[in-house]
Structure 1
Amino acid sequence: MEGQLENNIFFWQKLDTLLLSSSCTIDRPKGSHHFKYRNLVYPVDYGFLTDTTGSDQAPIDVFKGSKGGMKVQAIAVSADILKKDCEVKLITGCTEHEILRILEFLNQTEFQKAILVRRGNEAPSWASAD
């Protein structure tokens, strides 16, 4: 199974619960510039889920597209060698074009690269339901 992702519908349900049970604060609207790197322009609304904690001890980040919706459709996992960290960012309500723009945004510097994990709808044999 090398190179494949074991997708788990129960994982995505947990992310949906985080999204639905938290308020989303958009602090960087579509078209705004990154506060530190002015050449980076946000392709969709970007913000965070209040009352949550990500791996960096800050709230969980969210890219919110133009379609709306209350399900997490994908996550972006980024590795940043300047900050020496990895982060997970939720993607919700995005068109395919917006998802492509998010990936371009997250991969445009030599210091940070990201991958996309799309939502799956199957439960692996080892997974258990709650």
Structure 2
Amino acid sequence: MQQLENNAFFWQKLDTLLLSSSCTIDRPKGSAHYKFTNLIYPVDYGFLSDTFGSDQKPIDVFKGSIATNNVDAIAITADILKKDCIVKLLVGCTEEETMRILEFLDQTEFQKAILVRRGNDTPLWSNND
């Protein structure tokens, strides 16, 4: 079985994206999804201006209650209705908020998510800039 190698340099790049972009919150905590009104955002949700995700839209961000400039984790969603996979950054999230985000992302039968938590290891194959 192959394991995920958690590369510290990868997380540094995500932190740089976060710090070099402005974060726009367009769906505050407690607001309903624009299309599915039964889905309520557990934390602030928005995007990083001047960035592009795999869907050619700005990178999505869940912003928790902890003030920080580091990305804590990423959630990767697979959506069979939209036929896409999207990476969402989790910033400043407590453990409880992280679990509520995963529950939010897994509410429908059409979309599921996995969580990759930040690590500090540097694989042997990785190069420092």
Report the TM range for the smaller structure's normalisation.
over 0.9
TM-score with structure 1 length normalisation?
Answer: 0.98
Find the residue that maps to 1:10 and give its secondary structure.
Answer: helix
1:64 equivalent to 2:47? Answer no
The answer for the alignment partner of 1:49 in structure 2 is 48
Q: Which runs of 5+ in 1 are unaligned?
A: none
Equivalent positions of 1:1-130 (< 5 A) are 2-130=1-129
Q: Could you tell me which amino acid in structure 2 is paired with residue 92 of structure 1? A: V
* TM-score of the pair, normalised by structure 2: 0.99
Aligned residues: 129
Q: CA deviation at 1:3?
A: 4.5
Provide structure 2 residue ranges, at least 5 long, that are not aligned to the other structure. none
Question: In structure 2, how many angstroms separate the alpha carbons of the residues matched to 1:66 and 1:44?
Answer: 8
CA-atom RMSD, angstroms?
0.6
**2:88 counterpart letter in structure 1:** K
Map Cα deviations across residues 33-59 of structure 1 (whole Å, 9 max, x no partner): 000000100000000000000000000
Q: Identity rate of aligned residues, in percent?
A: 75
